[in-house]
Chains A and B, each alone.
Chain A
Amino acid sequence: MRFFLALQAFFAVLFRGVIPVAALPAPDALPDGYLSGAGKSKELEEKAAALTSERDAAQSERDAAIKERDEAQAKITELEAESVKAQAAALETSENATAAKQEAEIRAAKAEEEKKELAERVESLTTERESAKAKLGEARDDGALALAAWLQREGRLIDFLQEDIDEYEDEQIGAAVRAIHKGCKKVMDEGFALERILEGEEESPVTVPEGFDPVSISLSGKVSGDPPFKGTLMHHGWRSTAVKVPVSETVDTKVLAAAEVEL
């Protein structure tokens, strides 16, 4: 039960944010039995590299699209302001500046046209951005699926979570958890580079410095005044500095564990 929760927490963390930046595995980091031959390994490696560069390309395409769109939007704002100004100018000079007014009107019309063009450009960029985002999402899903499959393969985690454990005594569950712990720990060790966020013993005093990152350090209790804060370290936190989750290019990633048939 306890371990079940621990793994769930880990699992949740992994699913949330870590996967999208998954780097591809060095062949020696791949779990046993993953590859069937040296030739295959090379092939997979190439495919993996291709996927990485495709994803990187999608990301930079998206970034470029965002930038271009932002520029276009800025231009629109500028032109709108210009258009308003031009119209105001046209109104002001009522009698002796009919010509100027006409000119201003032409300018306003021109600005209007330009604005329309830019709006179209923004629209097409937005579409482009959406498709880049979708590609990124696919890569993310593949990473999440690969991790789930890995945890199942090594530690039978999916079987464990899907089984109704209410029926069993704590002793029986405890014995099973030792095996699950061993397998899942292997995945953790090989797939992630874990480090503590804060050094120091838990349950001992700690100082949270000025300019700390609230995403990394979560405060609770009586939060008052300004940092540095003095408190007690309740949990040292975990951060992963590298990720190596192997994603298969050739096999359907949605299959987390194959059905097994003996003949």
Chain B
Amino acid sequence: MSEQSPYVVGIDLGTTHCAISYIDTEIEEGEEGAGEIQVFAIPQLVRPGTCADETLLPSFLYLPGEHELAEEQAALPFDSEQSSLVGVFARDQGTKVPDRGVHSSKSWLCHSGVDRRGKILPWDSDPEEVDKISPLEAQTRLLKYIRAAWDSTAEADEHKLATQEVFLTVPASFDPEARELTVEAARAAGLQRVTLLEEPQAAFYSWLGAGGESWREQLAVGDLVLILDVGGGTTDLSLIAVREEEGNLSLERVAVGEHLLLGGDNMDLALAHIAAQRLKEEKGKDLNPWQARSLWQACRAAKEKLLTSDKKDTAPVTVLGRGSKLIGSSLKTELRRDDLNTVLLNGFFPECKRDEGPAKRRGVGLAEIGLPFASDAGITRHVSAFLQAQDEVDGVEDGFAYPSAVLFNGGVFKGGVLRERALEVLASWATKGQEPMRALEGEDLDLAVARGAAYYGLVRRGKGVRIRGGTARSYYVGIESALPAVPGMPAPLKALCVAPFGLEEGTSAQVSEREFSLLIGEPAEFRFLGSTIRKEDTAGQLLDRWGDEELEELAPLEVTIPAGDGQEAGSVVPVTLRSVVTEIGTLEVHCVGRDGAAHKLEWNVREQE
């Protein structure tokens, strides 16, 4: 396994789009194209019966039924090893027949409120009609498709994706079980050499790679860089600190934000609501679902027009008739610059003070049953809350980590207006004597994550500076106190730290000498908690109290220790706990018996109450 593969491949497995980049490492240094990051154009059905190469693969599956598509309409020039359709046509067909379209499967994969191995997607459809699939299976099929598409262009066996070193990106806010499920999906898809990388870090690697050594001039010791990554469906925050190590600059990812289901799609949807309202007021028309979807797309186009040019203050929004009477049944309204200011700037990037945080009530963000969307759409407020929580980061005074620079990522920031607004708000948080935050100029906002992931492949081979990171939170096992029950009061919970923040890949932490009694032959369950805030806790530390905001309960862990020779099922053995961060970036917690035998605690990904 340690042999180097001909290619290093970065896969951005996004909520709304996937992208793939690679570097051909067989080109000798000094030759043309050495170390160059290439983007793999993904062959996919774009219309019935038409396959084309696109740089982005929409992360949509369509589960065809018996009747609505002819075989030749779904035919691909290569074998995708599955019946589901993937990509542009799958997305479009999924809006026509919503019961059979699977979207946002990545958000479901990290949703601890549902059974992620259960056949629950498409969420609202009738299981009698549609063979539903699990979020895990959906991610597997996406990756399987990507592998088949790659292999269709790879002639030699040693160039097939299965054996390449693949760097797969996940949100920094993904918890350990979501990371593990992602790795499981990759394995099931036949990828044998997968390593995980956090998306904001990937965006930062892309920036590092694009500028060569020039980053050393742009950043200085003591700098903090905020990465603000607003994708189609999620917003992801990370902080990277620039430090000095033996006379050299080094980089460390010192904090990550909470998982926020808030992104570009919410923005378009919010604008579509305004346009729909306007149609209702002006023309007295209510939209049917088909028109509502067209309106959503028309609003997206109008938004892009207004954001990229300041020549006009309105952009027309037209929904054409669905029938053959094109003009007779078309609807027209407009989107105004004021709408963008109200909805996008004030709704998603509101001016706010540095000590403000997100409101707890439901705001402009639109809710869809099932996924836990962020209740406050104000991204800037989420950022200020994130920075306020970082009082343990080095050099931070007055309890607020004020970054010296920000790197924007995600298609949302293609509109210069939004980037300027965000920067304006961030800069306003500087106190006396602080330089206002400056923006690092990133490159392709859609492809940076995939490109950075491929570049990370080279970094892992010692070519370039590596960002130190480790676990994105500190993790705890909950222990219920042995106290008599008091009516109306839950038994107080204590939290034992099993993995400190920043535990690095390939290392492990022994959790004190404390022993637990475990029944043999029966499943034992551990409650499991994580914190992005308590970064100083060490493995083995026992907390008996903490602030509401500090610890968040995750899906429980479960272990069954089989009865060995001469042991009776139902008897009790003493065990200690140990945590390991694997080389590929997943966290494992083990129960270790006195005889040294270790048993891995499995994530219990079934539905939580």
Contacts and interface: CB of A to CB of B under 8 A. Distances in A.
Contacts of B129: 224-225
Taking each of A2, A6, A166, A225, which has the highest tally of chain B beta carbons within 10 Å of its own beta carbon?
A: A2
Contacts of A234: 290, 322-323
B126 A224 contact: yes
A250 B48 CA distance: 36
A16 B50 contact: yes
B320 A202 contact: no
Contacts of A26: none
B65 interface: yes
A220 interface: yes
A195 to B, nearest CB: 12
Contact of B320 (A5, A219, A229): A5
Interface size class of A (residues with CB under 8 A): 20 to 34
B324 A236 contact: yes
Nearest to B321: A2
B70 to A, nearest CB: 4
A17 B282 CA distance: 41
Contacts of B67: 212, 214, 219, 223, 226-227, 229
A203 B68 CA distance: 20
A40 interface: no
A3 B326 contact: yes
Contact of A222 (B99, B290, B312, B327): B99
Contacts of A212: 67
Interface in A204-263: 212-215, 218-227, 229, 234-236, 238
A229 B96 CA distance: 16
Given A223-B68, A223-B99, A235 B323 contact: yes
Contact of B325 (A202, A218, A224, A225): A202
Interface in A1-23: 1-3, 5-6, 16
Given A3-B326, A5-B320, 12 more contacts: A2-B320, A2-B326, A6-B326, A202-B324, A218-B68, A220-B68, A220-B96, A222-B97, A223-B68, A223-B100, A234-B290, A235-B323
A120 interface: no
- Which of A16, A219, A224 has the largest count of B CB atoms less than 10 A from its CB? A224
Contact of A220 (B73, B97, B318, B320): B97
A220 B99 CA distance: 10
16 contacts: A1-B316, A2-B318, A2-B320, A6-B327, A16-B50, A170-B316, A202-B324, A212-B67, A214-B69, A214-B73, A222-B99, A223-B65, A223-B67, A224-B65, A224-B99, A236-B324
Contacts of A236: 323-324
Given A3-B327, A6-B326, A203-B323, A219 B68 contact: yes
A235 B327 CA distance: 14
B330 interface: yes
B494 interface: no
A2 B126 contact: no
Contacts of A227: 67
Interface string B334-348: 000000000000000
A213 B70 contact: yes
B97 A223 contact: yes
B66 interface: yes
Interface string B34-49: 0000000000000010
A212 B70 CA distance: 10
B305 interface: yes
B100 to A, nearest CB: 7
B65 A2 contact: no
Contacts of B97: 219-223
Nearest to B49: A215
A236 B50 CA distance: 23
Interface of B: 48, 50, 65-70, 72-73, 96-97, 99-100, 126, 129, 290, 305, 312, 316, 318, 320, 322-327, 330
Contacts of B330: 2
Contacts of B325: 202
B50 to A, nearest CB: 7
Contacts of A219: 67-68, 96-97
A17 to B, nearest CB: 9
A67 B518 CA distance: 70
A116 to B, nearest CB: 23
B305 A166 contact: yes
Nearest to A233: B323
B64 to A, nearest CB: 10
Nearest to B95: A220
A5 B316 CA distance: 14
Nearest to B319: A2
A51 B70 CA distance: 33
Nearest to B316: A1
Contacts of B312: 166
Nearest to B328: A2
Nearest to A196: B324
A220 B65 CA distance: 12
Contacts of A222: 97, 99
A77 B48 CA distance: 34
Nearest to B312: A166
A202 B73 contact: no
A166 B325 CA distance: 24
A219 B330 CA distance: 22
A235 B324 contact: yes
B492 to A, nearest CB: 51
A1 B99 CA distance: 32
Nearest to B330: A2
A221 B95 CA distance: 9
B240 to A, nearest CB: 41
Interface string A127-171: 000000000000000000000000000000000000000100010
Nearest to B69: A214
A27 B312 CA distance: 50
Nearest to A225: B129
Contacts of A3: 326-327
Which 10 pairs from chain A and chain B are nearest by CB? Answer: A220-B96, A202-B323, A214-B70, A224-B129, A219-B68, A6-B326, A2-B327, A223-B68, A235-B323, A215-B70
Contacts of B316: 1, 170
Contacts of A218: 68, 96
Interface in A164-182: 166, 170
Contacts of B320: 2, 5-6
B209 to A, nearest CB: 36
Contacts of B323: 202-203, 234-236
Contacts of B68: 214, 218-220, 223
Contacts of B100: 223
A192 to B, nearest CB: 15
Given A215-B73, A223-B68, A226-B66, A1 B322 contact: no
A212 B68 CA distance: 10
Given A3-B326, A202-B323, A222-B99, A215 B305 contact: no
B291 to A, nearest CB: 11
A234 B320 CA distance: 13
